[in-house]
Amino acid sequence: MRNRMSNSIKSACFLINCRSGGGLGLRLFQQLQEQLPDAQICNLLEIDLGSELQRCAREQRTVIVCGGDGSIATVLDRVYVEELDLSPGLIPLGTGNDLARVLGCPGPKDLPLSQILEKLESARPRSLDRMYLTGPGISKTWYNYCSWGVDAEIALAFDKVRACYPALCMSANMNKILYAYLGLCHPGQEMSSILSNDKGLDGNFRSLVCANINSYAGGMQFGRQVSSEDQHFDIYALPHPLSLVSVLGGWRRLRHQVRCQEAVFELKQRSVLQCDGEAALAHPGVYTVSVAGQNSVLAADQSTD
């Protein structure tokens, strides 16, 4: 794949999820229109994404995705499936922003827009592993992490709170406090008795996390062994919801189990699953997690994660 960077960010194509960040996306849309009149400023929710990305590839425009982890994953997956010569950049607007954190891409909550654009101007392509999850009623690409158990239950509860009270979830610190509170409210169930695996993982755990990047739940770091470009993912275990509280507080790390390119799990009863922070009910059956290629993304921070 050839990776081209535009001579100037002023001619880039900005794909903005105007619903992200509780109004932050819409404000960014308006700011970019004022400051970059030559750029293409598009509402991600109103365009034909495939056609827009194909046009950007033909015109060799830099694509900048402005939104949460879900928005970024959607664009990356379309780029991969259509085999487009694009390395999207990121302006994070969501609550977790784990991928942007790994790539060193700041958002409007971190820096003024002018400084964000300067960082994007000097960003360079970097490989990012693409992961795939299949199971009963699900076939999904993910880039950050997927998990079963109490952390997914907490993520689902957090989504419900955010939908009802969006103003509560506008800061990283408030999100961590809310996650900690929900962790105390969700004891979870012993996953080792209902989620079997082909890797011989043992011990008691309430969550099992497959990680592709070294950032989790809005900034907690797994450990230096996790790399986003080594064509592997790492499996971690969480023994108790109180452990998640201490993990989010930075007082401890999750327990590393194994690094692999594919893993098979059998869920024996209904639980909760999350992919890149988006949680849903998971039905009993066999689930497979595997490496499924690589994307190219723009990274302001070129150090390994």
Least confident among 26-40, 62-76, 153-167: 153-167
Among the candidates 122, 151, 185, a domain finishes at 122
In a domain, 90, yes or no: yes
Give per-residue pLDDT as tens, 259-284: 999 999 999 998 889 998 788 889 99
For residue 217, give its domain range.
131-294
Which is nearest to 14 in space by CA: 54, 51, 50, 56? 56
Question: What are the pLDDT digits (tens) for 157-173?
Answer: 777 776 776 666 655 56
Last residue of a domain, one of 104, 122, 140: 122
DSSP line for 88-128: -EEEE-SS--HHHHHHT---TTTS-HHHHHHHHHH-EEEEE
Same domain (yes/no): 203, 80: no
* Boundary-marking domain end, from 122, 139, 157: 122
Residue 209 lies in a domain: yes
How would residue 2 be classed by pLDDT, with cut points 50, 70 and 90? very low
Number of domains observed in the structure of the chain: 2
